[in-house]
Structures are given as C-alpha cells and as structure tokens.
Structure 1
Amino acid sequence: MKLACLILTLLAAAASAQDVPALKAAKLTVDLWPEGKMPGKGANEPQTLHSPERTDATRVTNVSRPTLSFFPVEKPDAPAMIVSPGGGYTYTVVDKEGTEIAAWLNKNGIAAFVLKYRTPNNRDGALQDIQRALSLTRSRAAEWHIDPKRLGVIGFSAGGHLSARASNRFDERAYPAIDDIDQQSCRPDFAVLVYPAYLDNGKGALSPNLNPQANIPPTLIVHSEDDAKFVAGSKLYDTALTEAKHPHQFLLYKTGGHGYALHCEREAKAWPDAAITWLTKITGP
C-alpha cells in the first residue's frame, strides 16, 4: 500500500513538473472554482500525464482542479477566446492545442485563455468548466482589459465538441449558480470548431447534445474529408446551422487528417489564415 501511494505521489509530481512548464508563458493561471464549491465530480486518481505519453505534445489527464491560463495582448478592450484543447475527453493537449493556439491568437491581436477542463470521461464536468470559464472571464473583463462582448471559444477535436456544446447549451447552466460570477452570461459571442469530434450520434443524425434551434453565435467549422471518423458530424452540423439560418462558415478541405492543430502539411494547412480572416470580420480589427 505504501509503495502504491509513493508511486501515485511521484506520478502527480511528474505531471506537475510537465504541466506547469507547458503553461508557464501565461500571465496568470486561475482556478475556475472556489475551494469546495466545484459541482459534479473530479478524477479518481491524481493528475498525471496520459500514458503511454507521446513526444509531440503534452497530454494531461486526471484533472480534478480545472484552470484557466491567461495570455493577454497589449491593447485595451481586446477580443478574446477560450481555447479548449482536444484529447477524446481522456486527456487535454495543453500545448499543441492550447498554448500554441494562444500564441497564434495573440500574434493576431486576440487575447487567449487556455482551459484545462476535467478529465477523464467527464463530459458533464467539462461543460460545467467551460460555462464557468466564460462567466469568470466576463466577470474580470475590466481587470484583464478584454471586451466581454467579444468573447469566443475555439476548440479542437473533443474540445471542438465542447465548444459547440457551449455555443448551444447556454440557456440553462449545467450547474446551480454558486456566486456572483455565475450571473454573467455563459454564451460565447462566436465559436471556431477545428476538426470537432462527436457532433453526430454515430447513426447518421446530429448528436442530441446539440440544439441547432438555440441562438447559436456565428460559427466557423474546420474539417477535412480524410478525417473519416469525425467529418460526418461536421457536415451534419453545417446542414443544421444552414437550415436554422445561423451565420456560419464551413471550411472543408480534401486532406488534413486529424489532430494537426497549427502543424498541418496537407490542404488543411490553409485553415489558420482563413480563420483569422473570418475572426477579423466577426470581431473587427
């Protein structure tokens, strides 16, 4: 038993050593929830790296203490985006689909907040986390010099699904309000979904987690035909948004695959420039 506890402690320490450097460029990192007030559940084990860990990115799992890491820009009342990394709801890719995206947004005049949401297998907790992140960011907009009316979400893979849910399921908060922060809106003003996963039910219909009849904000969907596992969901979502007459754009590339973030070498490599053009139209210069 003592050996098992020691191993868990070492794993947690290793995760901390890896996780903090991945987010160290942030101006600050804040907890989403006050101590003892987080709704729902956390993980059953200490936070650690996903095993087996690969070398192309940092994948953190067993997140019970969700955080928001702030990457500001040097201009007042800047537009801002909450970045939701992917990871199949098993882990969060905090750098490749997190801090790298924040740096790219910053370069283009957009403040960024990287969301480390609860994992593994905690979709309800993740939705609570992103809703809280939107409200928290708006509650501190003056302090952080961002425009609370130009606050969007951008998500990748599972994070794309989470961002879509946030842009659909804002009318009814996924948890009882716990303080004044939750009096702020949790509706994003715009959404970017990059190779989003789980938008369909696996049977040729849109996921029941989504509500295309909601007041969905302007949305950009990015996908490629060769992401065979998930592209069908994006096509269904595009059709649903079109039928509901919600403003959106669907960038469908022939090749790109899945999980490339800013590193695609196929046709989908055009998405970052196209996304900035779309975001500029939505948020202004």
Structure 2
Amino acid sequence: MKPWVMAMCLLVACAGVHAKTTLWEPAAGHTQVPIWPGTPPDPKSLPGSEYARTGTTTIGGKTITGVYNVSKPTMTLYAPTGENTGAAIVVFPGGGFQGLAMDLEGTDVCDWLTTKGVTCILLKYRVPGIPYEWQCDCRPHNLQLSMPSLQDAQRTIRLVRSRAAEWHIDPHKVGVLGFSAGGYLVAEVSTNFKRRTYAPVDPADKESSRPDFALAIYPGHIATDDDTLNPNVPVSHETPPTFVLQAEDDHVDGVNQAQVYYAALKNADVPVEMHLYPHGGHAFGLRPTSNPITHWPALAETWMSSIGMIPAAGP
C-alpha cells in the first residue's frame, strides 16, 4: 500500500479497528492557544465533535495521528532549540481538508525547524470542508477559496507578527509551510493577503497577513483539470518567494500541481525554486524513506538561507 493511501485511510477514519481515539494534545511544555477570542468567523456545522485518532499503519516506522471536526482552531508555539535566527514558520498540516495529519505533517516539522533556530507555530485549522466525503470531486476547495481555513491562516500570521517581540521573532521573517491541502493553503495565503476575509476582532488584525516566504510541499488543488491555475490563487509579483517540492509519481494530486504553480510564479517574476523527483509518492512528510526526495529538508534549509531568512550552514 502506498504511503498516501495509508494516510488517507487514516484521515477518513478507516485506519483499523484498533486505532486509538482521543483528543489531540501537544507534547509537554507546549500549549494550544485559541486563535480567535470568541466564536470564529463564519462558523460551520460539523458532523460531530472534535477528536484525534492514531492509526495502526505506519510511515517511516511511526504511526500517524489525525485530527477531525475542528471548529475551534488553535496554534501551538515551538520555540527554537538551536540558536534563534529570528525566523518563524506557520505550519499547515495536510489531510484533504477532511482532517489534519498533526504529527506526520505537523509536530515532525516543528521538531526539525526548531533545531535550525526557527520558531515553529503549528496551526490546527478548521476542518472538514463541505461536502464531507473526501472522494467527491465537487469539494469546494477545487475551485473555491477554503474560506474557514484561509481565515485561520491569515489570523495566525497576524497574531505571530503582533507577538513578535514577546516571542523573539523578526516580524519580517514570518513564513508558511504546508503539505498537500496545507500546500494549497500556503498558495492561498500567499496570494490573497490583500483580501480581507473577516472583520477585525482586535489590534492584532492590523498586522499584515502576507508571508515573507513560503514552502509548498506536494501541494494540491492549485491546478484545474485542464492544467490552468486555480483562479482563487491570484499569483502576482507581490507573492512571496516560494519553494515547491513534489514527486513525479504523486498519484494523488499529480506533479502538474507543482508545475502549474511554478510557471505562474515564474511568469509573475516571483523568486521561486522547484524540486521534482521521480519517486516519492505523496504524504511522506519528513519521515525517512529509500527515495532521494527524503532529503528535501536540507534543500529547504539552503533555500531559506539563500533568501536571507536563516544563516548559511557551516562547512
């Protein structure tokens, strides 16, 4: 079974009868903080209460924990364990807008970034979208804005900037990183920052929601069926510098997602770096595999250094 098939089985609650269901909590020393002071804007009815499930299948020798029915989005701060570079990255886990792979594409990522001196902010954004069946091609995220999750993403970036001094962050070095559906959210927040998606709720909303840099890892929903750019990703010259990575044998979203986004960024004269690998599939996160694509974090570090977000690594 391919890694993505296993991941999707988890994220649509078919990971096995022995899966553990509970509420997701970050590791000791980290606290989830609500990103909205009250009810989030445009609340939607959900098919049930929020829960987390850890499956029995593994990727890279570890199980996967998914979170579902998120109506109260939160962010969790992971402070640098290495020398603080001043950079911060908001992480968007993937999961087809049905659930969130909170470890595979969340805490694993923060464990990596913090060792590089980067503050990591893990966003638990609202899911699922409507309709709830992930197999349906009529999901609104194909040709519409994923409005609740975009609102959550914009709000989180603004909150990070508003607390930059407290968290020892450079407000001009706030980036985003997302996987799969989270990669689409990266593209949305990178291109819709002039669009006010909700009414301001406090002084934090005076801050900009434009990321200073962006990393889209095996993104989806960016290309339409005829390989044109999703109109809800209005790339312009003001789109932040972007790093794109995908495998050519990605049979979930298809390598055309990266190619279409790269072409749009290039045509808008946006600094962009793209890496395509022949093998890797989908939903591998940072977990080790036998494929060369597994070493992509080193490429991302070099790229972040090249655009001045983190210092260059020593010899």
Match of 1:33 in 2: 36
Total equivalences in the alignment: 268
- CA distance in structure 2 between the partners assigned to 1:77 and 1:276 by the alignment: 12
User: For residues 205-224 of structure 1, what are the alpha-carbon distances to aligned partners after superposition, in whole Å with 9 as ceiling and x for unaligned?
Assistant: 11111011251011000011
Gaps of 5+ in 1: 1-12
Deviation, 1:270, is: 2.3
Residue 206 in structure 1 maps to residue 201 in structure 2: no
Of stretches 120-129 and 98-107 in structure 1, the one that deviates more from structure 2 is 120-129
Cα separation, partners in 2 of 1:158 and 1:72, compared to 1, 3 Å? same
Match of 1:284 in 2: 310
One-letter code aligned to 2:214:
A
Deviation (angstroms), 1:35: 1.8
Q: Of residues 71, 74, 84 in structure 1, which corresponds to 2:78?
A: 71
Contact 2:55 2:64 in 1 (8 A): no
| Alpha-carbon distance in structure 2 between the residues aligned to 1:90 and 1:67 | 17
1:227·1:257 contact (CA, 8 Å) conserved in 2? yes
C-alpha contact 2:248 2:254 (8 A) present in aligned 1: no
Aligned residue type for 2:301: I
- Once residues 182 and 230 of structure 1 are traced to their aligned partners in structure 2, the CA distance between those partners, rounded to angstroms, is 36
Provide the rounded CA distance (Å) in 2 between the counterparts of 1:99 and 1:51: 14
Alignment of 1:105-184 (within 5 A): 105-121=113-129, 123-184=146-207
Instruction: Compute the displacement of 1:159 (Å).
Output: 0.4
Of Structure 1 and Structure 2, which has the larger fraction of its residues in helix? 1
Code of the residue aligned with 2:184 in structure 1: it is H
Deviation at 1:280, TM superposition (A): 1.6
Distance apart, 1:54 and its partner CA: 4.9
Deviates more, 1:210-219 or 1:86-95: 210-219
In 2, distance between residues paired with 1:257 and 1:43? Answer: 33
**SS where residue 153 of structure 1 aligns?**
strand
Please report how far the alpha carbon of residue 15 of structure 1 lies from its aligned counterpart in structure 2 after TM superposition.
2.7
What letter matches 1:29 in structure 2? Q
How far 1:28 moved relative to its partner?
Answer: 2.9
Cα shift at 1:268: 1.0
- What's the secondary structure of 2:87's corresponding residue? strand
What letter is aligned with 1:31?
Answer: P
Q: Residues 213 and 244 of structure 1 are in contact (CA less than 8 Å); yes or no, is this contact kept in structure 2?
A: yes
What SS class does the counterpart of residue 280 from structure 1 fall into?
Answer: helix
Q: Runs ≥4 in structure 1, deviation > 6 angstroms?
A: none
TM score, norm. by length of structure 2: 0.81
What is the percent sequence identity of the aligned residues? 37
**CA positional deviation for 1:99:** 0.6
Q: What do residues 4-63 of structure 1 show as CA deviations (whole Å, max 9, x unaligned)?
A: xxxxxxxxx9432xx11xx12453321010123x10114422002369875521100100
Work out whether residues 198 and 230 of structure 1, in 8 Å CA contact, stay in contact via their aligned partners in 2: no
Q: Which residue of 1 aligns with 2:51?
A: 48
Deviation at 1:177, TM superposition (A): 1.4
Show the counterpart of 1:267: 292
SS at 2:171 equivalent: strand
Q: Residue 133 and residue 233 in structure 1: after superposition, are their counterparts in 2 closer, same or farther (change >3 A)? A: same
Residue 40 of structure 2 corresponds to residue 15 of structure 1: no
What secondary structure does 2:112 align onto? helix
> 2:190·2:240 contact (CA, 8 Å) conserved in 1?
yes
Q: Which amino acid aligns with 2:185?
A: L
User: Structure 1 residue 204: deviation in Å?
Assistant: 1.7
* Residues 115-153 of structure 1, C-alpha deviations (whole Å, 9 max, x = no match): 000000162100000000000111111111111110000
Could you say what the CA RMSD is over the residues aligned between the two structures, in angstroms? 1.9
Structure 2 distance, partners of 1:133, 1:192, is 17
Q: Residue 42 of structure 1 contacts residue 118 of structure 1 at CA under 8 Å; is this kept in 2?
A: no
- Cα distance in 2 between the residues matched to 1:116 and 1:124: 15
What residue in structure 1 maps to residue 275 of structure 2? 251
CA contact (8 A) 1:43 1:120 kept: no
CA–CA distance in structure 2, aligned partners of residues 248 and 26 of structure 1: 36
Secondary structure, counterpart of 2:43 in structure 1 = coil
